[in-house]
Chain A
Amino acid sequence: MAKPEAGLKRAHFKDVRLPVLLLLPQLAILLFFFFIPSFRALGQAFFLSDPFGNTVHFVGLDNFAQLLQSDTYHESVKATVVFTILQNLLTIAVALVLAFASDRVIRGRGIYKAIILLPYAIAPVIAGILWAFLFNPAVGPLAHVLHAIGFAWDPNRVGSDAMILVILAASWKHVCYDYIFLLAGLLAVPSSLLEAAAVDGAGPLKRFFSIGLPLLMPTMFFLAVMNFVYGFFEIFAIVDAVTQGGPAGATNVLVFKVYVDGFINLDLGSSAAQSVILMIFALFMTLLQFRYVERRVSYDV
């Protein structure tokens, strides 16, 4: 253990009882809402069972084997990967532009920030319904605009249109999260560096790309991981409101499929197996973040 850091932490908590006490409520919540359900899901994944639990057959790894052979599961994985990558790129790009712009503006900066942060306060379902309505081919005003310029927009029938819609809705909802981090990152760029560059004749864009952006890289890594987690786990409400996973499974991302198979189809074994796979992925992402990303983030700018 590196001495100075450890020493600092120990100085605050000499007695072990207080930190344990402070941690207990959080641990209790984790125990009841995460660990116990997780272990039950892990168990369920090896059984074929009647939803009421009166008939249960042990099937070993059958549920997993079936998933790996299933075309719909493969498509769901593909949809999830496409969705998370595009959503990630779009969210970070837009957040970066907005952060750069609002870092530049002087007058009304607070108002801009408030407006940009607004979507975060809106419930995902409401956001989803809003987007579904705006782009509804029958009545949506934005769909009419698209039709008017000769674009045959129809997310009810065309899978890629539905995917675009979900990506837009999800990114719109998540941009503010990335924006806050990027803006904070930009504000933390030492002004001495920027001033020196300005004296050397670098314009705002040049300064941004050669000084701001490199210093933001750790933040962007962190955000990329967070966006992946968002895309994999928290997208359920938006998909439910915008496309219900359709058409023909085009937007049936993994977390939505877990819900449909478990709570609508009542296929608990398969649903549990899917959650286990998702859980393993979450573990992997967390490890990745701690191992590679966290190390490069320097907190003392």
Chain B
Amino acid sequence: MNLDRRSTLATLAISSALWLASAMPAAAQPVQIQWWHAMGGALGERVDELVKNFNASQQKYVVVAVNKGNYDEVINGTIAAYRAKRAPALVQIYERGFMTMLLSDATMPVQDLLDQRGYKVEWADFVKPVAGFYSYKGKLMTMPFNSSSPILWYNKAHFEKAGFAKPAETWQALEKQLYAIKQKGISACGSVLAGDYHWSLLENYSAINDLPYATKANGYQGLDTEFVYNKTSVVSQVGRIKKWIDDGVMQIAGQGLSPEQLFTSGKCSTFFASTAAHSGIEREAKIDWSATYLPWEEGKQPKNSTIGGASLWVMKGQKPAEYEAAAAFLDYLAKPETQVWWLKATGYVPLTNKAYEMAKSQGYYKEHPTREIAILQLTRGTPTANSTGFHFGNFTQTMMAQRDEFENVVAGKKTPQVAMDDAVKRGNEILRQYEKLNKGRY
């Protein structure tokens, strides 16, 4: 056999193999799409289960869930992939990234996608504060996925020992209880400062007490919004937290230790944190714990709290079949059965009223009363412009500036008023930069 013949044979073999591969019936191959998410640990396992259930429920599509790290890493990965024109079909982006995604021109509204593909989703049935947060001009832009709200977790034994049935409803009364617990030597610290305290103790504090956080209905009515929280009792709230920390009633966990550990180990008596902490606290806690609503200011009628968590965005630049697959998966997610499974598995709030009713009728909240607190708190009363939610461009950046100034208060370098004035000033500059970039696009 000479060289020529050998190479001809090889070419023949390769080309026939290629021909065979291309001639395989395309219809039998399910369409595969990627979903990048930020759910690690126990929540990551639930996501894998969710995707497995969807893939098993039909033959046409395969969703591949990829954990890309934390929320910051997912949004960065998405940006890099989009710029390289290789964005996945679905990405999970935290709620603070809403405006960034909305005006990025890189996404497709989920309501349009599902309506165009003929899926009958009852958009009106979505829980109001959840849908309100992720809507723009009356349309749901992104599929809410893991929504949560902060609640007050407490150590039952500590409160009973101090002679209280449960934490008080107002900040003023709760303060007296926490000081009593400290003075009686029942616990080393009354409360532990959660990592996302700006969400629970400043933003939700404003919503619940019906205080304006920024102009233009907290950014819902335009990009020319300005922060005004330095003119409300957010300032005295910052002062209150500082006083608690000074008096040893509140502890900062710091790096190298999660705040949750200080609560679940029984060292601290209360913890203001997301309802999504349920899966972790149920697993870790060696104490008899319970939870209740976030406190409000004395003499106020409490409003609803607002949500945190993340939602699923559909990225532009996919093939029609991939959009088809994304739509099918999102439709599956919105189904009450999927919702009920998800909320039971994780502790997040139901996204639709139907799912909520279904879980309730199954007696789920009777068995797990603390898991109902967040949804009850979210749907309490009629939302006002102050409690609908927060739509700020560069939201993460403004929040980081606020954190920075808050730390100045805790360090004793600035008074709460000066620090919040500075935070508002820095925040407004960041908002102006966003406005300049996106002029006329909102």
Contacts and interface: CB of A to CB of B under 8 A. Distances in A.
A205 B203 CA distance: 63
Most buried by A among B75, B105, B252: B252
B408 A248 contact: yes
Contacts of B75: 51, 266
A57 B404 CA distance: 28
A263 interface: yes
B345 interface: no
Given A50-B104, A133-B256, A159-B411, A267 B436 contact: no
Nearest to B267: A138
B117 interface: no
Given A51-B104, A57-B436, A265-B400, A248 B72 contact: no
Given A51-B79, A138-B262, A248-B408, A132 B104 contact: no
Interface in B412-442: 412-413, 433, 436-438, 441
B254 interface: yes
Contacts of A244: 255
Nearest to A263: B76
Contacts of B108: none
A55 B106 CA distance: 11
A137 B83 contact: no
7 contacts: A50-B104, A54-B104, A132-B256, A138-B254, A243-B255, A264-B396, A266-B76
A242 interface: yes
A267 B407 contact: no
Interface residues of B, number: 39
Interface stretch (A150-158, A188-196, A224-232): A150-158
A119 interface: no
Given A54-B104, A55-B438, A157 B252 contact: yes
A218 interface: no
B247 to A, nearest CB: 13
Given A157-B410, A264-B72, 16 more contacts: A53-B82, A54-B104, A54-B105, A132-B256, A138-B251, A138-B253, A155-B254, A156-B253, A157-B245, A159-B411, A244-B255, A247-B410, A248-B405, A248-B408, A263-B76, A266-B397
Most buried by B among A49, A131, A136: A136
A51 B394 CA distance: 10
Contacts of A241: 255-256
A138 B104 contact: no
B233 interface: no
Interface string B133-147: 000000000000000
Interface string A250-274: 1000000000100111110000000
B400 A264 contact: yes
Interface in B367-402: 394, 396-397, 400
B170 interface: no
Nearest to B73: A263
B100 interface: yes
A48 B433 contact: yes
Interface in B66-115: 72, 75-76, 79, 82-83, 100, 103-106
Contacts of B245: 157
Contacts of A132: 254-257
Given A52-B106, A55-B438, A157-B410, A242 B255 contact: yes
Contacts of A267: 394, 397, 433
B442 to A, nearest CB: 12
Given A264-B72, A266-B75, A136 B411 contact: no
A265 B397 contact: yes
Nearest to B419: A248
A139 interface: yes
A248 B404 contact: yes
Most buried by B among A57, A140, A244, A264: A264
Nearest to A159: B411
B367 to A, nearest CB: 34
A299 B175 CA distance: 69
A50 to B, nearest CB: 6
A248 B397 contact: no
B142 to A, nearest CB: 15
Nearest to A131: B256
Nearest to A267: B397
A57 B438 CA distance: 10
A248 B437 CA distance: 28
B168 to A, nearest CB: 26
Most buried by A among B75, B83, B254: B254
Most buried by B among A52, A155, A249, A267: A52
B436 to A, nearest CB: 7
A246 interface: yes
B326 to A, nearest CB: 19
B257 A248 contact: no
Contacts of A38: none
A72 interface: yes
A54 B103 CA distance: 9
Given A55-B437, A138-B251, A156-B254, A266 B83 contact: no
Interface in B239-286: 245, 251-257, 262, 267
A50 B83 CA distance: 11
Nearest to A261: B397
Contacts of B411: 157-159, 247-248, 250
Contacts of A159: 411
A102 B252 CA distance: 42
A243 to B, nearest CB: 6
Contact of A136 (B76, B257, B413, B436): B257
Contacts of A265: 394, 396-397, 400
Contact of A53 (B76, B83, B100, B256): B83
A282 interface: no
Contacts of A246: 403-404, 407
Given A49-B437, A50-B438, A52-B83, A248 B413 contact: yes
